[in-house]
Every structure is written in structure tokens, then in C-alpha cells.
Structure 1
Amino acid sequence: MDRGISRRALLGAVMSAPLLAACSGTFEDAPADSPGVHVSDGELTSRHWPGQRVSWAVARPTARQQAPVVVALHGRGGHATNAFTGLHLDRHVATTGLAVAAIDGGDTYWHARRSGVDTGAMVVDDFLPLLASMGLGTGRIGLLGWSMGGYGALWLATGLGRARVAGVAASSAALWLSPGDSAPGAFDDRDDFVRHDVFRLRSRLRGIPVRLDCGLDDPFLHADRAFAAGLPGTTTHFDPGGHTDAFWSAHGGAQMTWLARLLAT
């Protein structure tokens, strides 16, 4: 790595309502059904993202109609189907008995923005009710995310609380120790960072099992370690790897199994 590149620049580089449609195979990169797994996808609209047709995809076990839901939040520059085409979480649906539900979040970092967009609120107010209407179990959910989505999973859990969230599994969570370190575009300004600083809100996560996975060559390793150190009981897996689909996919099965145990209690 070029020693002249700042840590902030590196982090920026790696990061650089009603249902409208519900069917199988709407999007070219949506996963196909596999043994024991049914996939559906579609679009919704939300007052939290005005003027946007928001894509979503769900992989559910065919043997469990009211399967508990794991909401999967993608990273910056990604989209809903990355949960399946990049991380292959659908491969763990039949074995865990969990449904995986993913939705597009743009590059908003899953929190309220000055623009009026709030994709985190969209997940809670629009996507979860849609999943419930499909017969899936949304009373208690699991949250799983990577990079921007890892931050988003932690952020959503601070708001939903332990009564609603059975556990949070975050890979390479996009965390920063100070506003000046954050990637361009992650927050509107310093005040926005402070309002949505999950370090400051860690007390809200007490009582919610949290698992952090991060590669030893990942630029977020230092901040993820610091976050875990301030949240007693956090399960951590810091092992060889970088900020890549390969690392996140390699940990997806273990994360799903971990969430399945929590959702079974």
C-alpha cells in the first residue's frame, strides 16, 4: 500500500409503503430457487425515499412458511441482491430455517439524511410490514450487514431495541472513531455524525447479542475492535482477510447459524 495514502482516503476508496411488484425473477441478478428455498423479489415505494422505486429480494425456506427473518443490509455501492450474488446467503436458508430479506439502500448509510431520505426508517416502516404480509416472522428479527450495511445493522438495532432484535451480525462494519475520519458522504456533516454515532449509543445495544467479523487486513479493523471493546459480551471473529465479498461470504454461514440459535429462543 502506498504510504502516502491517508487512512481516510483508503476508507473512502473501499466504500467508494405500498407494494408495486412482487414476483420471481424481476431483476436480472436475482437468485433462482434452489432445493428447499424459494426466492421472490419486487419493488416498493416509501415516503422515506421519495420518488424512488426500491428493489427488494427475499429467499425463504419452503419447509417453514412463517420463517423468522434476517434483514440483510448491503454495503456502499451495492444493492439488495448482493446478499445472494455476492455473499450467497441463500445457501444457508434451508439449513438454518431462516428467511433472508434484502432491500436497496443506495449510498445513504441507512440513516436519516439532509436530503429527506431515510432508508433505515424505510426498512422499519415499509419493508418489515411487507415481509409480515408475506407470512414471514417479523416480531423478532435478525440483522446482518457488511461494510456500510454493518454500520446500518448496528444503527437500526439501537432504535429497535432488544424486544425486536434477536441479534446483530456485522461484517467489516463501517465505523469511525471521529467525524474527521469518516468516508466522504457517509454523513452530512459533523453534527450528523454525532447524531448517528453508534459508539455513543452503545448502551442501547446492551442485551442484544452482537457479533462482529472483520479481516485482519480490513481498514475498519481498528474501529471494529474499539467498538467491541466497549460493548461487553460482543462475539468477535477477527481473522485473515480483507474488505471483500470473499471474506463476507466465508463468514455468512456461521453468522446465519448464530442468528438461527438466537431466533429460536
Structure 2
Amino acid sequence: MDWLSVANAAINGIVIGMLLALPALAITLVFGIARFPNAATGDYMTLGAYTTVASQAFLGGSVVTSVFGAMSVTALVSLFFYFWVFRALAERSQVARLIASIGVAFAVRSTITFFAGQDQHVVDVPLVRAWNFGGIRLLPTDLYILTTALTALVIVFCIMHLTPTGRRMRAIADNAELAAASGIRSKRVMIFLWSLTGAFCGLGGALLGIKAVVVPELGWELLMPMFAGVILGGIGSPVGAVLGIVTFSIAQEVASLFAGPPYKIVFAFVILLCVLLLRPQGMFGRPMAAR
């Protein structure tokens, strides 16, 4: 096992981690503001990947146009389920909303399977030769994915910290009761939240579809690693969610060199458990006292 193999695995882990950071950030924002873990996040990603494939197949659009179409469709679906399901359950327990989100996930996946079947699909992208830097290989496609994901993350962090809507979102996340007493209208914030998280899941799914084969279980199989990355970074911390999922993805890819792809997630979860034993609140989470 040479260092070049480890370096290439780490680069692949960074690329995968950055595109998974988009839905991981969506999980964190929903948990911080709507107060429940959204298990439908993975299937929203799948919807984004399939929308990209369908857009190319039926409308003949470019990859960029198809990706924007995927973001729009997934944002609309996310809003639909917010108005139909999650708004009605806003006063229910976290467990009730979690179970409802699992139902939404099954509904989205079953609808995709009904129309698209179980066949494998791929996003049509130009074939390119990898750049080779002394044994370290980098695909131009991976660089485009990394740049797109990083740009989207910068935009959302700017929204969170530099706009009135972002300040309202952070106020509700810190203290919903105090935010309501201050006159902040949560309805508009929730509409923006579910639109933003849906668009991010769609973008993450479209980028993942460029790197992987598109199947109905694409996002569902990545749900546990995404939750693990969010926990590793610290629940409720957007920066922690991004760094946590990138760390988790690098650990997975490097572990696959030693144990093989089927066991890479086991080693990644071992790393997660070790970190949480030393720092239960995660890398960027705040200690919480219970009474």
C-alpha cells in the first residue's frame, strides 16, 4: 500500500464528501429550525438524480440546464410535502415527524420506481481523460463537481449570515419562542427553508448521478452515512455538518484500501464511535445539559 493510493482515495473522499455536504447541510438546517431529522433527504437526492437523467433524455438539455431543472423540481416536491405533511405535524413530537419523513421517503422512492422501474441510468457527461500529477489522478469532472458544491455551500453560508432571512433562520434555530415574541414570522422562514433544502438535495443528487449509477435506492443507501457525518460534525452546526461528512467520506475511501469496498463503512463508523467517545457533542457541537 503506497502513499499515492492513499492520496487518490483521499481525493475521491473529498469529492464525494463535498457533494454529500449539500444534503448533509439540508439535514442540519431542518433539524435546527424544524426540530426533527428528515429521513426523506436521501430520496430527495434520488429524485434530483432521476430528474437530471429525465431532463437529458426527454428535453435534450445540457448538463447545467438539467441540474438546474433537478434543483427546481426537488424544491417544489420538498415544498409540497411541507405543506401536505410536515406543517400539519409541526406541533407533534420529533418521533412522529421522523416517522412521517420515512413515509415521505418511501412515497418518493415508490413513485420513482413506478415511472422509471429498477433499470440503471447514467447522467450523460462528456468522457474526459484524468489529469496525472506524478501518480495523483484527478478527473476534470471531479473538479467541476467540487467547484459547484463549494460554490453552493458558500452561497448558502452567505445567505445565512448576510441576509435578513438568514438571520431570521438563525434566530428561530437558537430560540423559536423568543424569535416569535420578537415578531419573526416563522411561516415565511419555513417556506424558504424547505425550498432551500429541497434545492440542495436536488443539486447533491444531480452531482452524485454524474459520479455514480442512478438507481432508486441511490440516496436511501447514503442516508446513514449522511446522518453519521452530521453527528460527527455536531448536530445543529452547519460548518460541522460539512466538515463531518467530508471527514467521514475520506475515512470510508481510505478504509476501502485496507478492508475492501464492502467493509469501508464499518471502519468509518468505528472512527465515528471513537470520536464521539472522546467528544460526545461532535467536532463543532456544543455541550448540552439535560435535567
Which band: TM-score by shorter chain? under 0.3
**Highest relative contact order (Cα 8 Å, sep 6+), 1 or 2?**
2
Structure having the higher helix fraction is 2
Higher radius of gyration, 1 or 2? 2
TM score, norm. by length of structure 1: 0.26
With structure 2 as the length reference, what TM-score do the two structures score? 0.24
